Structure 1
Amino acid sequence: MPADCLSYRETNYYSSLISDYLDQKEELKGFYHRFPSIENFEAQIKDKKELFSADKRELLVRVLEQQYSEIEKGEEVSANIKALSNENTFTVTTGHQLNLFTGPLYFLYKIVSTINLASALKKEYPKNDFVPVYWMATEDHDFEEINYFILNGKKFKWNSQQKQAGEDAVGDLNTEGLEEVFNLFSAEIGGGKNAEDLKDLFKSAYLEHSNLTDATRYLAHQLFKEYGLVILDAQNKELKAEFIPYVEKELFEKVSHTTTISVAEKLEQLDYGIQVNPREINLFYLNDGLRERIIEKEGSFYVNGTEISWSKDEMQKEIQDFPERFSPNVMLRPLYQEVILPNLCYIGGGGELAYWFELKEMFEELKVPFPILLLRNSALIETSKQNKKRGKLDISQSELFLKQHELINRKVRKISNIDIDFSPQKEHLVKQFQQLYELAEKTDPTFLGAVKAQEVKQLKGLEHLENRLLLAQKRKLKDEVSRIAALQNELFPNKRLQERQTNFSEMYLEFGQVLIPTLIENLDPLKLKFKILTFGEK
């Protein structure tokens, strides 16, 4: 399979924050602990080993065994769960929402990056074991973000009428209403082996499991079980009990706000912007069909928009009795993850890493090792047919990432039988006016403004003529223009990165069971490059 790489900066789809991080710019080094190079994991292993107890390992293994009790784990997953009881075993983790049928394609890239990093670490540090973990965002409540996927440019949406849809933690939603999605999906993909595989996968996941957590666990397990992926639902009373000291620090000392607000300001001063504005209290109360913010007023605590309230003493008792009711938001979830896992590295997208950069001082204050932060793999998948079209149109891989009008203009200029570039004429005009400026200064300087106005007018006239000529050539070369636009639209649906729009099922229909093994073989998480993969060629 041919594969090529671009820097993330070259694609023009990534923020300056992420591009500068990958370039290891000096001004960003205070916002993270260790850069994701293979040699930096040695010290990370040492730090985590010292601070992660045997009791925590025993609890984690017990919870995972419970969560997998109704799943045929397979040898690889069973071995990885068992290995977590050993002091020399560590995790690398990615997290993701419970998107319907995985949502956009980058769900696969996140998990493949995690699996491949675990493999790379095992080769470099053979005395240790490394377990890839998918952290399911079961406590998230943004139903509108997860209730659809896009296939062949069509949105397949779960229109749930459940009371808690959009209010409660999405993991608790029952799978009612997904049979309608299944029927529409089945009609769209038709027949054939790959289509039947997808139908079986959807049906087994969503029509044979009663809630979204179990359905998502089953789906991800079926896709990645042979690679030993361990899937964790952290909404668990025993795991939440481990987090009690940090919940108390958050509620009574507002530790996340006091440690992150100045960091966020520093990022803003560096013109990177702020991904997440920290609240004074970054916890939700989760109970009986409700997930709502906790706020504090004059020493008492309230659940926003409800009549629920506690004094400080009552709140301390609530935390001890019901730790599972305290749900971290985006600012605290990373801390919870690092408290309950022997984790070395978090793998996420650009937006995720941006809010992690706000958290280092909080981790230091609480004496929890800050993980290595790794940008997940990104890729553009093209078929061999699309690759051949691109070759015939003489479009380089980097040119694919241009804005469409820029790409078309560049190609029309290149293939046109006349020269549409008026740069020489503009340069000649500028030189002529330079002589007029010199003459005006020697005779009457008040004419300088008039000379400047005339220069601007004539340059604009040349640009207007150039644009008219370019437009005429576009009409003349409309077939080539149409083919260029069509190819780019196929590879960048809705003018966005393919991985952020297209569901994996579209690729599976085309490539079948080789899809995931090919991604495993070709995506290198430590290379820190955007990959272009051509399927169907050797």
Structure 2
Amino acid sequence: MKIECIKNPWQNQLMNDYLEPEHPVHSFFSYHPLKSSSYPVRAQEVYANLSQRVDRQKLVEVLYDYHQPELLHPEIEANLERLRQEDSLVVIGGQQAGLLTGPLYTIHKVFTIIELARKQEQELGKPVIPVFWIAGEDHDLDEVNHIWIQRKEGMLKKRYRVEAAKNNREAVSHLTIDPEDLQNWLREISEHYVDTPYKTKWLEACQELVHDRPSWGRFFARLLHSLFAKYGLVLIDSADPHVRQIERDFFLRLIHQSKPIQASIQKSIQQFQEVGYADPIHTQPNQANLFLITDHGRVLLDREGDQWVTREGKRTFTTSELCQIAQHTPERFSNNVATRPLMQEYLFPVLAFVAGPGEVAYWGVLKEAFIHAGLSMPIVYPRFQITLVERHVDARKREFGHSWETYLTEGASIREEWLKDQFSFQIDPLFEAMKKQVVDLYQPLIKQIHSQLGRQTEEMGQKNIEKVTEQIQFYQRFVERTMRDIHQTTLRQWDELLQGISPNEQPQERVYNLIYYWNAYGLDWIDRVLQLLRDKQSNHHFMVHF
């Protein structure tokens, strides 16, 4: 296994600017993530503001409760004890509870959290603990209930239908999984994977994790734990009712500071747009940035003066009533994309937050919001972006002779160009010329007949042109299929290459799931990838070769 660094072919302009040492975009953030000097300064800032956070001992007790019994591991237990220390810090990042851990970028985010925590502990000489935040409060089941499977005939999307009420808005983490249903589904998808020495192992391991009818979030946590417990990865589910209890005071703070927090976000969005970046959040001026669980499920709140109105307009609360709910039943509240970072900062002594490209963008409009919440923005560190390269894919790349950047961003078009180059004539110009000749022949005829007969002869003539043109197009498609049939073996090799690194013409990490690689290679590759990533900075795209 080896690693190759290339320029990130999918990097947007904001991320390009963010990784520059002195770019003005850093005025939207508190620290530059790739400057080593940022980390000791941020550590001192955390120590100076410990009083603004939740009681450390309460947090650890909640985390102990969450991990017991099956999520405790000696390394995790050691990290929980270290978290009690006043000088300990965390590197944190998170993701929704995707099916079978979701797309590969979830795994890549964990890689980044673990490696950055290890590196900063070594450099700072302080305990730095890796923490993964499961965004279990989200209610969009369609985002997390499927995986993509690679097949010869193309990509196959396989959904798992969990029991949920129609128009359900319940937190995904609270949905219950039926063990028999999921075990049957796992057996079904296993049939789409080739038989290997690892196939039975991953299937039995995943089936065992649902034996006792767990929630969706617990199943996700168990699988992530089975992969990364030995690295001491601490987990927290944002939908855990016990977490809600220790968040009570901060929900009250968010309610009272809602107006200035939202005003600062709106101002930052305007400044973002003035320098050429898109609005990353699409928020409204009266948005409260909090969800509340009502009879209609988990709904967003808006502010109208001293009134708080649910987004669908069916419930209204005064500030006093909302504070009473936060005081007595804080589990009814949850954060949105803007207040989740603030809540993480309140709960944990965050040295750095590990972010995907979209997260870096929306964190850029939150700097003043942290201040209004009595906190400060941590280092926002871009996660590793990785493409896993199998041996047969690497062989095809060398055979066809282009760069990784070209394959990743222009693969489909160069495949078509290759096919056209195999013939001495060009299909498109040939048939376009024929269609033009047909039109040129028809038009004088149509004009002459219309001048003599009138009525609907011109309309009928135009329809006749369309019919003839359709037949020409039919013949063109037949010729194109014939060309593909002649070169079908090589075209399949092209597809092996392109599906292997950019399925559905998207980054591999946004489509493929862990299970394909577990089935093909076991789990040792995870340890080896982490070793390869040691001391790497996330300003490159990494091609990891099996």
Q: TM-score, normalised by structure 2?
A: 0.81
CA distance in 2, matches of 1:173, 1:494: 30
Q: In the TM superposition, what are the counterparts of 1:144-293 in structure 2 within 5 Å?
A: 144-152=142-150, 153-163=155-165, 166-176=168-178, 177-189=181-193, 191-237=195-241, 239-252=243-256, 253-279=258-284, 280-286=287-293, 290-293=297-300
Q: In the TM superposition, what are the counterparts of 1:122-161 in structure 2 within 5 Å?
A: 122-126=121-125, 128-152=126-150, 153-161=155-163
Judged with a 3 Å threshold, the aligned counterparts in structure 2 of structure 1 residues 409 and 313 are, in CA distance, closer, same or farther, namely closer
Once the two structures are superposed, what CA deviation does each residue of 1:171-192 show, in whole Å capped at 9, x if it has no partner? 1000034234223123333654
Aligned twin of 2:23? 26
The reply on whether 1:14 has 2:18 as its aligned counterpart is no
Counterpart residue type for residue 259 of structure 2: K
Flag structure 2 segments of 5+ consecutive residues without an equivalent: 426-479
CA distance in 2, matches of 1:481, 1:213: 41
* Matched position secondary structure for 2:341: helix
User: Displacement, 1:197?
Assistant: 1.8
CA distance in 1, matches of 2:271, 2:496: 43
User: Displacement, 1:286?
Assistant: 2.4
User: Displacement, 1:270?
Assistant: 1.9
Aligned twin of 1:449? none
Once the two structures are superposed, what CA deviation does each residue of 1:111-160 show, in whole Å capped at 9, x if it has no partner? 0110011111122122x111111101110001110011112232221112
User: Displacement, 1:320?
Assistant: 1.1
Once the two structures are superposed, what CA deviation does each residue of 1:368-413 show, in whole Å capped at 9, x if it has no partner? 1211111111111111222122222222323322313553478689
CA distance in 1, matches of 2:55, 2:24: 36
The reply on whether 1:49 has 2:53 as its aligned counterpart is no
Aligned twin of 1:526? 537
Judged with a 3 Å threshold, the aligned counterparts in structure 2 of structure 1 residues 204 and 286 are, in CA distance, closer, same or farther, namely farther
* Matched position secondary structure for 2:93: strand
CA distance in 2, matches of 1:340, 1:63: 11
Q: Is the CA contact 1:347–1:374 (under 8 Å) kept in the aligned structure 2?
A: yes
The reply on whether 1:329 has 2:336 as its aligned counterpart is yes
* Matched position secondary structure for 2:209: helix
Q: In the TM superposition, what are the counterparts of 1:134-533 in structure 2 within 5 Å?
A: 134-152=132-150, 153-163=155-165, 166-176=168-178, 177-189=181-193, 191-237=195-241, 239-252=243-256, 253-279=258-284, 280-286=287-293, 290-305=297-312, 307-404=314-411, 406-408=413-415, 483-524=493-534, 526-533=537-544
Q: Is the CA contact 1:103–1:150 (under 8 Å) kept in the aligned structure 2?
A: no
Judged with a 3 Å threshold, the aligned counterparts in structure 2 of structure 1 residues 195 and 347 are, in CA distance, closer, same or farther, namely same
Q: Is the CA contact 1:205–1:216 (under 8 Å) kept in the aligned structure 2?
A: no
CA distance in 2, matches of 1:199, 1:414: 45
CA distance in 2, matches of 1:190, 1:402: 28
Q: Is the CA contact 1:156–1:181 (under 8 Å) kept in the aligned structure 2?
A: no
Once the two structures are superposed, what CA deviation does each residue of 1:44-77 show, in whole Å capped at 9, x if it has no partner? 1111112124962101110011111221522111
Counterpart residue type for residue 162 of structure 1: A
CA distance in 2, matches of 1:484, 1:184: 28
Q: Is the CA contact 2:105–2:385 (under 8 Å) kept in the aligned structure 1?
A: yes
Aligned twin of 1:433? none
CA distance in 2, matches of 1:45, 1:91: 10
Counterpart residue type for residue 60 of structure 2: V
User: Displacement, 1:414?
Assistant: 10
Counterpart residue type for residue 55 of structure 2: K
User: Displacement, 1:99?
Assistant: 0.6
User: Displacement, 1:307?
Assistant: 4.5
Structure 1 residues 348-357 or 200-209, which shifts more?
A: 200-209
CA distance in 1, matches of 2:214, 2:383: 31
Aligned twin of 2:108? 109
Q: Is the CA contact 1:256–1:332 (under 8 Å) kept in the aligned structure 2?
A: no
Counterpart residue type for residue 63 of structure 2: L
User: Displacement, 1:491?
Assistant: 2.0
Once the two structures are superposed, what CA deviation does each residue of 1:481-506 show, in whole Å capped at 9, x if it has no partner? 66445422332111111111111111
**What RMSD over aligned residues (CA atoms) do the two structures have, in Å?**
2.7
Counterpart residue type for residue 36 of structure 1: P
User: Displacement, 1:237?
Assistant: 5.0
Q: Is the CA contact 1:348–1:375 (under 8 Å) kept in the aligned structure 2?
A: yes
CA distance in 2, matches of 1:4, 1:369: 36
Identity %: 22
Judged with a 3 Å threshold, the aligned counterparts in structure 2 of structure 1 residues 47 and 209 are, in CA distance, closer, same or farther, namely farther
User: Displacement, 1:208?
Assistant: 3.3
* Matched position secondary structure for 1:402: helix
Counterpart residue type for residue 529 of structure 1: H
Question: What is the aligned residue count?
Answer: 477
Aligned twin of 1:460? none
Q: TM-score, normalised by structure 1?
A: 0.82
Judged with a 3 Å threshold, the aligned counterparts in structure 2 of structure 1 residues 278 and 55 are, in CA distance, closer, same or farther, namely closer
CA distance in 1, matches of 2:198, 2:309: 52
Q: Is the CA contact 2:170–2:297 (under 8 Å) kept in the aligned structure 1?
A: yes
Q: Is the CA contact 2:168–2:297 (under 8 Å) kept in the aligned structure 1?
A: no
* Matched position secondary structure for 1:254: helix
CA distance in 2, matches of 1:491, 1:140: 30
User: Displacement, 1:507?
Assistant: 1.1
Once the two structures are superposed, what CA deviation does each residue of 1:299-349 show, in whole Å capped at 9, x if it has no partner? 233334375433332222222111221111111111001100111111121
